[in-house]
Chains A and B, each alone.
Chain A
Amino acid sequence: MSSAQDLRKRIKSVKNTQQITKAMKMVASARLRRAQMKAKSTEPYAERLGHILQNVASGIDAGAMKAYPLMAVRPVKKTAYVVIGADKGLAGAYTSNIVKYFVHAVEGKERNEYDVLTVGRKPQEHLKHHKYPIYNSYAEFSDKPEYAHAVAIVRDVTARFIAGEVDEVIMIYTHFVNSLTQTVTSRRLLPVETPEEKRGSTGLYLFEPDEGAIFKELLPKYLEITVYNALLQAAASELGARMTAMTSATDNAGELISSLNLEYNKLRQAGITNEISEIVGGANALQ
């Protein structure tokens, strides 16, 4: 059994930890709100761009479509994965869920059939430790991504795809449902798939300079906004996961403190009772 002094120290240290987790929880929840808003504000852009892409694609026939390097469907000999995770820990199972999903996706594949581009320090450390073939890594922006980061990632993967180094690019990220639920999802970036609807039906549209030139410009922009949206979703998910993790850590610390307090009070009272009975015993002996 520990002494009263030990218990006092223990309670103090748990209280300190609780203060830290509480502060982290509050920071995460404030930033989560901002991240959610940011993810939401990309919607009009993505929607509009998707709309234009559909209109332009409908004016191009399927045969001509194959001529665009970003749409070239080849037999898949090598797949590149883009794994989007966090820079920092203390976010519950956020990173391990992402990594688990990736490991499951490459199960049964040979080393030379895939490689991976990591976003965020945590997945990089983890996959490096387990000797997965990492091609490139980006970090330092997992909780505050900007459009420029998405541009850099898209430039990187499209260059490799066009050079024929890889035949397929798949992105793995966490989709933000709400602050309690985030689901890991994957999405194929390259080759680009366009919506199939109403092909060849918009003869009414004028194109400046022409369909082909617009399409060539449009595809990378479409990829960029797709990746940017994924980065923002991942950032919101990270903050959501951190908030949940820190809430339960704070609650646990509270429980621990109250049980330690109970033990400490019991010990203190036992000491007092002991002293009284000693005094009473001593006084009785004197009579």
Chain B
Amino acid sequence: MSSARTVRLNIITPDETVFSGEASFIVARSVGGELGVLPKHAPMVAALSIWPLRVDTADGGSHYFAVFGGFMDVQPDEVTIVTPNCEVPASIDVDRAQRAKERAEKRLKERAEDIDIDRARLALARALMRLDVAKYK
């Protein structure tokens, strides 16, 4: 059931549907910048960056998700986020993310010849996002 004040949100990964429910406001970061989606938004497709996603529900609560890129398909009454991977705060291993962050930073600082800069940057972005989202446990 979707009233005028909420919009149905589905977050889909290749393995499962991570979230399916009503949202009153969605904040995501696209490749071009941050964008907020309210119910009855015009049809839109956005490419997302590796950045935390905020979902406000009608009861005033906020949920955070770690979204690893992907796309957001916006329809007036339904928003679908398809992403290769999405994690909820409770499932994030903070120690592991911390180690990944240090490793990626070290790699980027040293700039050895045989490393893949793009890959290290992406790894750093993923680790930073995980650490960020894990705060909302």
State A206–B46 Cα separation when bound (angstroms): 8
Would you list which residues of chain B between 19 and 35 have a CB under 8 Å from chain A? 30-32, 35
Number of chain B residues close to chain A: CB under 8 A: 24
Which residues in B have their C-beta under 8 angstroms from that of A221? Answer: 70-71, 84
Check A204–B43 contact: CB distance below 8 A.
yes
Residue picked from B16, B32, B84, most chain A C-beta under 10 Å: B84
Determine whether A228 belongs to the interface, using a CB cutoff of 8 Å to chain B: yes
Check A208–B15 contact: CB distance below 8 A.
no
Which residues in B have their C-beta under 8 angstroms from that of A225? Answer: 14
State A228–B82 Cα separation when bound (angstroms): 15
Residue of B nearest to A232 (CB): B14
Would you list which residues of chain A between 77 and 135 have a CB under 8 Å from chain B? none
Check A207–B46 contact: CB distance below 8 A.
yes
State A56–B85 Cα separation when bound (angstroms): 22
State A205–B43 Cα separation when bound (angstroms): 5
Residues of A within 8 A of B (CB): 38, 41-42, 44-46, 48-49, 51-52, 55-56, 147, 151, 204-209, 213-214, 217-218, 221, 224-225, 228
Q: List 25 A-B contacts (CB under 8 A).
A: A42-B15, A44-B17, A48-B82, A49-B71, A49-B82, A55-B73, A151-B84, A204-B43, A205-B44, A206-B43, A206-B45, A207-B44, A207-B45, A207-B46, A208-B30, A208-B35, A208-B46, A209-B31, A209-B47, A214-B47, A214-B71, A217-B31, A217-B69, A217-B71, A228-B14
